[in-house]
Amino acid sequence: MPVTAVTTDTDALTLQVVADFTVPVRRLWDAYLDPRQLERFWGPPEYPATFVRHDGHPGGMSIYYMTSPEGERFWGYWKWIAVDEGRSYEVRDGFAHDGGAPNTDMPEGRMVFEFAETALGSRLTCTSHHASLEDMEKVLAMGQIEGMRAAMGQIDAIVEDLASFAAGRGTELQLIGETQARVSRVIRGTVDQVWRAHTDAELLSRWQLGPDGWSMPVCEYGAEPGRSLRTEWQNDETGERFGFVGVVVEAAAPHRLVTTERMISPQDPDGEQSPETLNEMTLTPVEGGTLLAYVITYPDAATREMVLATGMVDGMETGYARLESEVLAA
């Protein structure tokens, strides 16, 4: 078991858990900042976690739920306060209603995660700060210590599996719940570079082209909330054309961009007949480059199935490979 010490201090209103691992600090850090990895150990084995949002920057949010053996979902959140990359981060954590809205009737605490190098690898010190003794006793009675021991007991297997999360694996798809999908890829570039490539119209039109033989004659893009977006692709041989329109809903450069999206065609130039999706892009620095996590919310399961069946993920991989080779490598 990686947990080597558990200390409860009712005077300071803290619970401190120390765990040791035989991997470098960066490997352990990335496991906590990558939602694909974190959700494999944040919940106890019987209550696996699913992260629908995981920002990893000050002012950001993480929203997740744990699923019981009976299928019941228990929601929680983190509000990101501070990040010292590779060394520590601090969040306010609490319970949430279905969908992730904070439940103010339940205690909200503060958690500090500290990562340090040791002779054998790395050490994680997680300190939970409670607002009152009553809050602390309530959370402890709910099994906080037992839950953290069980959850951390799963980390070794995840951090040893570097190949599953390293750069070079290509674009990966994960279905979340009934109406969401997460597309993930490590892109060889800095967060600032990848952000600019996704928000600068000139750069975007150079790599987000899909298969060979297609071009992007229309690219109206940016990252200002409220801005209208429009992209159009054209098959240069046949003249076939389609595109997307949307609006920037939220932006926190260079980490998070939220937009709406509707497909347009010659028969539906404004996309009024197309279902609208909500697209949440999060960029996080990891070893090997920048982890791009793209969470798409569809209006229903049938629409999600229809869109994914078009080969969307393969098309995104073609674009990301072009981004690395033709834009970021230039």
Domains and CATH numbers, the chain: 3-164 (3.30.530.20), 172-328 (3.30.530.20)
Query: Residue 263 is encoded by which pair of tokens?
Result: 């497909």
Whether 86 has a pLDDT exceeding 90, the answer reads yes
What's the CA gap between 137 and 147, in Å, rounded?
Answer: 15
Question: What is the pLDDT averaged over residues 211-219?
Answer: 90
| Distance between CA atoms of residues 238 and 149, nearest Å | 60
- Residue 230 is predicted with a pLDDT of 96
Ranked by mean pLDDT, which of 52-56, 139-143, 314-318 comes out on top?
52-56
Closest by alpha carbon to 57, among 165, 192, 180? 192
The strand order across the sheet containing 88-96 reads 3-9, 14-21, 122-129, 108-117, 88-96, 73-84, 61-67, 49-54
Whose CA is closest to 209, among 308, 325, 309, 289? 325
Q: pLDDT tens digit string along 127-161? A: 999 999 998 998 889 888 888 888 888 898 888 87
Q: Is the pLDDT at 164 greater than 80, yes or no?
A: no
Q: Is it the case that residue 211 has pLDDT exceeding 90?
A: no
What is the pLDDT of the chain when averaged over all its residues?
Answer: 93
Instruction: Tell me how far apart the alpha carbons of residues 308 and 288 are, in angstroms, rounded to a whole number.
Output: 28
- Supply angle C-alpha 282, 64, 162, rounded to 5: 60
Predicted confidence at residue 249, as pLDDT, reads: 98
Q: With cut-offs at 50, 70 and 90, classify the pLDDT of residue 70.
A: very high
Residue 298 confidence (pLDDT): 97
Question: Tens digits of per-residue pLDDT, 242-299?
Answer: 999 999 999 999 999 999 999 998 888 887 889 999 999 999 999 999 999 999 999 9
Joined together, the tokens standing for residue 301 give 């399961």
- Please determine, for residue 171, whether its predicted confidence score (pLDDT) is greater than 90: yes
User: What per-residue confidence (pLDDT) applies to 212?
Assistant: 83
pLDDT value of residue 148: 85
- Tell me how far apart the alpha carbons of residues 154 and 156 are, in angstroms, rounded to a whole number: 6
Integer Cα distance of 94 and 15 in angstroms? 15
Judge whether residue 1 has pLDDT over 70. no
Task: Give the DSSP H or E segment for 55.
Answer: none
Q: Inform me whether the pLDDT recorded for 330 exceeds 80.
A: no
Report the range of poorest mean pLDDT among 208-217, 286-295, 296-305: 208-217
* 201 in Cβ contact with 219 (< 8 Å): yes
